[in-house]
Structure 1
Amino acid sequence: MTAFIQHLASEKRHSPRTCDSYQRDLQRLAIWLVEQGNPEWRNVSGYDLRRYVANLSRAGLSGRSIARHLSAIRRFYQYLLRERLATDNPALDIRAPKSSRRLPGVADVDQLNSLLDAVPGDPLEVRDRCMFELMYSSGLRLAELASLDIDAVDCHGGEARVVGKGGKTRLLPVGRKALEAIAQWLPIRAALAPEAEPALFVSRRGDRISHRSIQARLSRWGVVKGADQKLHPHMLRHSFASHMLESSGDLRAVQELLGHADIATTQVYTHLDFQHLARVYDQSHPRARRRKSRDYNEQNAGQEGTT
């Protein structure tokens, strides 16, 4: 298992976060196998893995989480086959149970505008607003924002060069408000960061800001500035995608901006858009309100008969 994780990190160039995820999933399987009296990888069968999937399901894992476990196991056995440490891949035909797809949370346009227009109270809040403006302006992932270097943003051209999943680079437009926020942040950053620090966003100590700090600062910003719901980085990305799709209707363009390899991943936002349309329909169309009107009329008729 250790050799496999090293293989992912060195040969496949997976991120430390991805490697940690694979290791946790495989360790969980290894512990379960030992408990079942089957400590050898080469002796694991498809039947064993079906029992393991059932065990994960009983433990409350979603279909998506179980699918991630199975993906890690399949990749691990591909490696074992390459190293001649196994004779087959028992996970090939195992599928995770389907679960309902949870739609991402999206913030209201007016509320986001109000939150991002709030006046920063100190230098670190200037940085915070800049981070959140850029995340919403360009649909950045948390990891993409944290890894952004100062030379990756072209303020004159209004674009940012972002390294996404799998080390893929994409060029994204940066909106006017985000550019203004960057211009306000750069003088403060210069006073905090040493000259050799490449990161665009730095902590109070002058080093690259961590993922956890960004999450905590966004949550704090929402509380201090009066948000109606808890804010988190992925909500800003989801809001970017949903608002872009509502305005443009161009699913392919939104896919490119988000850096999704598969358009099916982007299509979840069409469901969000439909939900919005359905709510408007239910509230506005006279035939959609028929039941409420009928119940009201029946109630009145009953009262008139009593009178």
Structure 2
Amino acid sequence: MPDSLLEAPLATFLEALARHASPATVDAYRRDLSRFRVYAEDAGLESWAQLDAALVRRFLGQERSRGLAPRSLARRRAALSRFAEQLVSEGLLTHNPVSLTPSPRQPQHLPRPVDVDQLAHFLDAPHDDSPLARRDQAMLELFYSSGLRLAELAALDLDDLESSRVRVIGKGGKPRQVPVGRRAATALTAWITARGQLATAGEPALFVGQRGARLGHRAIQLRLANLARERGLAEHLHPHRLRHSFASHLLESSQDLRAVQELLGHAHLSTTQVYTRLDWQHLATSYDAAHPRARRRHRTPPDEGNP
């Protein structure tokens, strides 16, 4: 069987994925799907229209038996699921067979948020007001103000920014709008007034580098790490920690898990609960305070002899 019968749809899917996903995600999905393609070919699959849940289960079972870590196994399944959704949208499948397979259980490695006072001191540190410094300050404030993922911030164009909110494309190509706080709006205004000193003509990207083109993922990560050292933040700083700090600090103040879920762009509430370190005691306290059948009532014990 020629490889192209299965390879062509994969190539089309990965090309579309690259428009909004990070290069690291695209590379990982390419490896995952290529491995499944080889497995499917060996199993006699001649067309993606023949894809079914049984084949997916056997493949994931084989990967598990090879000792693949739960996180990598979950990514394999996620890559297959997103590809299957594309096949459904193209009419090659009537449903997503991957959705009929269980998700691997994940160990909970929770990121640690930056202390709110330390983070405020870090963000308020003075800078030299150069175009690059304004850009860096705007990125920091926007990460923390709006809880953006690295890929979401890097993909922002000028047209995505409004006076008090920003439009982003999240995981799975899902669009959402998130508010921009006052401090972030001020930093963004300062950056945009200086952006023309760096950006090349016609460049749509909101954040650009010294050569005038869109700032890449790795460059953003390095700038955050360097700023943490320069400003005396005694711990490593990366975009995910700012996103986690945004979620944790907002939840501590508002106790509104659903709102935080919407702002983060999580499909499932359970993801937000783990991500924001929401513990059982917090849930129990909220339940006792809010549920009419859970409120504590003082009762006089029954008299002896009158049970």
For the pair 1:21 / 2:21, whether they are aligned, the reply is no
Paired residues, number = 265
2:216 to 210, 216, 235: 210
Over 3 Å counting, the alpha-carbon distance change for 1:127 and 1:276 in structure 2 is: farther
- Letter of the 1:232 counterpart: H
Q: How high is the TM-score relative to the length of structure 2?
A: 0.72
Q: 2:16 and 2:236 mapped to 1: Cα distance?
A: 39
Partner of 1:4: 9
Over 3 Å counting, the alpha-carbon distance change for 1:108 and 1:189 in structure 2 is: same
Counterpart contact for 1:107–1:236, Cα < 8 Å? yes
For the pair 1:114 / 2:121, whether they are aligned, the reply is yes
How far off is 1:196 after superposition? 1.0
Counterpart contact for 1:134–1:178, Cα < 8 Å? yes
Identity across matched positions, percent: 45
2:266 to 244, 260, 263: 260
Over 3 Å counting, the alpha-carbon distance change for 1:13 and 1:178 in structure 2 is: closer
Over 3 Å counting, the alpha-carbon distance change for 1:250 and 1:30 in structure 2 is: same
Counterpart contact for 1:8–1:14, Cα < 8 Å? no
2:168 to 162, 167, 173: 162
What secondary structure does 1:203 align onto? coil
Cα deviation, 1:182-233, whole Å, max 9, x if unaligned, reads 1221232111112311111100011111111111111111111111221110
Over 3 Å counting, the alpha-carbon distance change for 1:97 and 1:218 in structure 2 is: same
Q: 1:205 and 1:264 mapped to 2: Cα distance?
A: 42
For the pair 1:229 / 2:235, whether they are aligned, the reply is yes
Q: Is there any run of 5+ residues in structure 2 with no aligned partner, and where?
A: 1-5, 47-53, 283-307
For the pair 1:49 / 2:59, whether they are aligned, the reply is yes
For the pair 1:68 / 2:75, whether they are aligned, the reply is yes
Over 3 Å counting, the alpha-carbon distance change for 1:237 and 1:41 in structure 2 is: same
Q: 1:231 and 1:14 mapped to 2: Cα distance?
A: 27
Counterpart contact for 1:49–1:90, Cα < 8 Å? no
Q: 1:127 and 1:74 mapped to 2: Cα distance?
A: 37
How far off is 1:92 after superposition? 7.5
Counterpart contact for 2:125–2:231, Cα < 8 Å? yes
For the pair 1:128 / 2:136, whether they are aligned, the reply is yes
What secondary structure does 2:176 align onto? strand
Please say which of residues 231-240 and 67-76 is displaced more in the overlay.
67-76
Partner of 1:281: none
Larger radius of gyration: 1
Q: 2:231 and 2:168 mapped to 1: Cα distance?
A: 29
Alpha-carbon RMSD: 3.6
Partner of 1:150: 158
Q: Is there any run of 5+ residues in structure 1 with no aligned partner, and where?
A: 278-307
Counterparts of 1:175-194 in structure 2, within 5 Å, are 175-194=181-200
Q: How high is the TM-score relative to the length of structure 1?
A: 0.72
- Letter of the 2:140 counterpart: F
How far off is 1:72 after superposition? 3.5
Cα deviation, 1:77-112, whole Å, max 9, x if unaligned, reads 7959x869xxxx997876465332221221110111
For the pair 1:242 / 2:263, whether they are aligned, the reply is no
